[in-house]
Amino acid sequence: MPFREILRQTLTALWETKLRSFLTMFGIVWGITSVILLVGLGIGFNLDQKEHLRTIGTDIAILFGGKTGAQAGGYAAGRNIRLTVDDAIAIQQQASLVKTVSPELRRTVSEVSQWNAASRAVRGVWPEYQRFRSLAVEQGRLMSEQDEQTGERVVLLGAEANRQLYPGKPVIGEKLMVQGFSYTVIGVLAKKKQNGSYGSGPDNTQLFVPFSSMERDFPPPEQPGVVRGFVNNIVIEPVSPGLHEKALAQVTRIIAERHHYDPADKEALWIWDTLEGSKFTERIFAVMTLFFGAVALLTLALGGIGVMNIMLVAVTERTREIGVRKALGATAVDIKRQFLVESAIITIVSGVVGLLVGVGICLLMRLIPLPDFIPHPVISPLAIIASLTTLTAITLFAGTYPAMRAANLSPMECLRTE
């Protein structure tokens, strides 16, 4: 039988049961769409989290002083380790595997502009800090090495701090009273998508000043254990991600020698390793994406079972038709081919529609604004390939068994069927 005739008969048979065929095809469409959309969302979540982590720093480590957990060098356990600016200078001079370093001094003080007042955290840092912490200005400029060396009273405003202190007003070059000292606003930071931070909060809410100015104007309050040059933490950037662990080991030895404790004492120095955190987050979202993909492929497989079920029903309903065709000379190959073509049309048309719907939804979600917690899905070639591979398997599996069952029926048995 010519293929054109087989195709005509197949389309006629599908049209006669159009509601049943539509519902069967909808299962495949939904399965393909689910694979593309769920995998795309999983990848989107992963990329979104990487972007959020990048705002903190993807290859940096933040060092905080802790308490010694063991005796060393004649000192008792339980001794507080207070980091100082001299520690940062020692790291800068001695740690060959550290690219850049910055001490960080944080205070929450009052700020007063001619438009409003606030009480926000101020961070005193070295200029290099701005680069490896991904601070970028929307207006004005960043702090310079000259600002640090001369102790200039200049300040950078986070996006939220700017909105509060200078609501819709010109800001660059304006004076800001910070705890009674007159500072000049030199820049406003671009808003960050930041879902985590350390210390006193996200960068959008902060003010940043040169470390030398901060140390002079806003030294930490006197209290037991706070020594000259005290800093809240030290931020380091290794020369490369591949040498990250060796750089941390080098820094740990330097700090341990300066504060007279065993470098193996993990309690003496607490380290927030953003590279390790980034790898951990990536593993979590990779597993989540795999899970999403597996669920979507299972949904697609269930749609394939629906196709096979509908084809078996079609064989049962058309048993007498099969007998008549065989009695008129149709071969088993002709019968098998017709049912295979019928199942192939259902799955292929459904697959193409599902592919277009899935990709279309992903593209549409890129064009519309979404809440910060919902990422834009990514169109994954791997998800499309997996969908098409599964669809091919469904076509063969769902059509072969019903087609073989129809082809193996004898003409006499078919004609006796009511």
For the residues of 265-325, what is the DSSP string, one character each? -TTTEEEEEHHHHHHHHHHHHHHHHHHHHHHHHHHHHHHHHHHHHHHHHHHHHTHHHHHHH
What amino acid occupies position 190?
Answer: A
269 CB-near residues (< 8 Å, 6+ apart): 63, 64, 65, 66, 81, 252, 255, 256
| Long-range Cβ contacts of 117-120 (<8 Å, 24+ apart) | 117/165, 118/161, 118/164, 118/165, 120/161, 120/164, 120/205, 120/206, 120/207
Residue 268 tokens, joined: 């003496």
Give dist(CA 221, CA 229) in Å, integer: 12
Domain ranges of the chain: 3-53+280-416, 67-267
Per-residue pLDDT of the chain (418 residues; tens, 9 = 90+): 555 655 666 666 666 666 767 777 777 788 888 888 888 878 777 776 666 556 566 678 889 988 887 776 666 677 888 899 999 999 999 989 999 999 999 999 999 999 999 999 999 999 999 888 888 899 999 999 999 999 999 999 999 999 999 998 999 999 999 998 999 999 999 888 765 566 667 888 899 999 999 999 988 777 666 667 889 899 998 888 778 888 889 999 999 888 888 888 888 888 887 766 666 666 777 777 777 777 777 777 777 777 777 766 666 666 666 666 666 666 767 667 776 777 777 777 888 888 888 888 888 887 877 766 677 778 878 777 877 777 777 766 766 666 666 666 666 665 555 5
Radius of gyration of the chain (CA): 34
CA-CA-CA-CA dihedral for 7, 12, 14, 15, to nearest 10: 140
317 CB-near residues (< 8 Å, 6+ apart): none
